[in-house]
């Protein structure tokens, strides 16, 4: 990538100089994922869309759950832990195939602290994009001091134009 393009990507992803944070498009087709969710007995209605801090108590302590932050800043969290067998609640399902502010995972820790990371092969978000997850949690009433970030760079799938 040419230096100017790298600089532009950095500026957009970091919010430097008043630039709006980017949206990350899904790099995979949604239809086969929806079919897999249906075949597994999953239902999009089970996706957790918390409206308060108390809704996050549904997350089992110590387990990682996939999440996305939608364009409107709202969280969508998988109803099953990321390592659950046959879990078809993948990031594009959570984001309905639309571009998102960030994607990755959330882990509820003891004493109701939360850790977020950006590990999403389908959306390939940046570490800086985790600001969107932090802000979404703060809006739900989670104190900023109870939120940590973990840098888990994803092994991204190839973008649609290069497949």
Cα–Cα distance for residue pair 64/39, rounded to 1 Å: 23
Angle at 59 between CA 57 and CA 62, to 5 degrees: 115
Q: What residue ranges do the domains of the chain occupy?
A: 20-143
pLDDT at 122: 96
Handedness of CA 35, 36, 42, 47 (dihedral sign): negative
pLDDT in single tens digits along all 163 residues of the chain: 444 544 444 444 444 444 567 899 999 999 999 999 999 999 999 999 999 999 999 999 999 999 999 999 999 999 999 999 999 999 999 999 999 999 999 999 998 899 999 999 999 999 999 999 999 999 999 999 999 999 999 989 877 665 5
């Amino acid at each position: 990538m040419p230096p100017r393009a790298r600089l532009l990507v950095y500026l957009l992803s970091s919010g430097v100089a008043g630039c709006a944070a980017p949206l990350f498009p899904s790099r995979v087709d949604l239809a086969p994922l929806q079919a897999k969710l249906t075949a597994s007995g999953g239902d999009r209605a089970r996706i957790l869309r918390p409206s308060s801090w108390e809704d996050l108590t549904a997350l089992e302590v110590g387990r990682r759950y996939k999440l996305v932050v939608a364009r409107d800043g709202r969280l969508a969290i998988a109803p099953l832990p990321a390592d659950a067998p046959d879990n078809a609640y993948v990031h594009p399902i959570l984001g309905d195939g639309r571009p998102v502010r960030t994607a990755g995972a959330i882990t509820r820790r003891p004493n109701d602290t939360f850790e977020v990371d950006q590990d999403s092969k389908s959306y390939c978000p940046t570490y800086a994009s985790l600001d969107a997850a932090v802000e979404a949690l703060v809006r739900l009433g989670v104190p900023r001091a109870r939120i940590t970030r973990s840098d888990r760079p994803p092994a991204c799938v190839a973008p649609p134009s290069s497949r």
